[in-house]
Copies of this chain bind each other. A is one copy, B any other.
Amino acid sequence: MQFTSERLDGDVLEREFTLGEIPGTLWTPGSAAPVPLVLMAHNNGLPKSDPRLVARARYTAARGYAVATIDAAGCGERPRSAADERARTELRRAMQAGEPVDEIFESFIGPLVENAVPEWRTTLDALLALPGIDGPVGYSGGWTALGIRLAVAEPRIKAAGFFAGGYVPRAQREEAGQVTIPLLFLLQWDDEGNPRERALELFDAFGTKEKTLHANLGGHTGTPWFELEDGCRFLDRHLK
């Protein structure tokens, strides 16, 4: 893992890194004591520099966590194949037109999730080898399908916060029952891009005995600020 730049924002140190081909960002708080780690992922289509992700990461780091995110292969700012670009364009068009997107989703997002998991695990190995970062590990992210896959595959992850999750590939909907770590599932009640019924079904399907749903009125980007604090309090209960 090589750090390529760093910047101090208040008490939070923000460092860009590369790990082989993987570009990532790590936010750490000012304290010298070891802190738990939170893997923070955004929707696969958005880059790790997305302002909403960065704001969540800084807030969480200031609350005493190391927070890391990466752009996995084919995601965020990393190169995409022409086929990927066509699939993304078609997915966007179909969603805007209100057409069924399940098949595009399966054939495009399904493999993206599968391929992202090894890169996230490699990143996790490297992060936990850094001084000042201590287990346990949490996941917090808008990319619910990746979170489900990681929660099932990666025993070091002890708690997870998911956002929305109406559209999740079949493989992850089917393995939701195998997720047994504590969950906070955040839902926007009128999310145009995430059908409410599916999100509620997914919440119902998780195998964990300790799961909480928070739903707020409004569309996809309308999550109220206090959910950021609630998310940290959830992590505090399980990682500190």
Contacts and interface: CB of A to CB of B under 8 A. Distances in A.
B216 A211 contact: yes
B209 A217 contact: yes
Interface string A194-221: 0000001001100011111111110000
Contact of A213 (B208, B209, B211, B215): B215
Max chain B Cβ within 10 angstroms of own Cβ: one of A210, A212, A224: A212
Contacts of A230: 230
Interface string A177-209: 000000000000100000000001001100011
A214 B217 contact: no
Which DSSP category, helix, strand, loop or mixed, fits chain A's interface?
A: mixed
Nearest to A213: B215
Nearest to A216: B212
B217 A210 contact: yes
9 contacts: A189-B213, A200-B200, A203-B215, A210-B224, A212-B215, A212-B216, A213-B215, A213-B216, A214-B214
Interface of A: 189, 200, 203-204, 208-217, 224, 226, 229-230, 233, 237
7 nearest A-B pairs in the assembled complex, by CB-CB distance: A213-B215, A212-B216, A211-B217, A214-B214, A209-B217, A212-B214, A226-B237
Given A212-B216, A213-B214, 11 more contacts: A189-B213, A200-B200, A203-B215, A208-B217, A210-B217, A211-B216, A211-B217, A212-B214, A212-B217, A213-B215, A230-B230
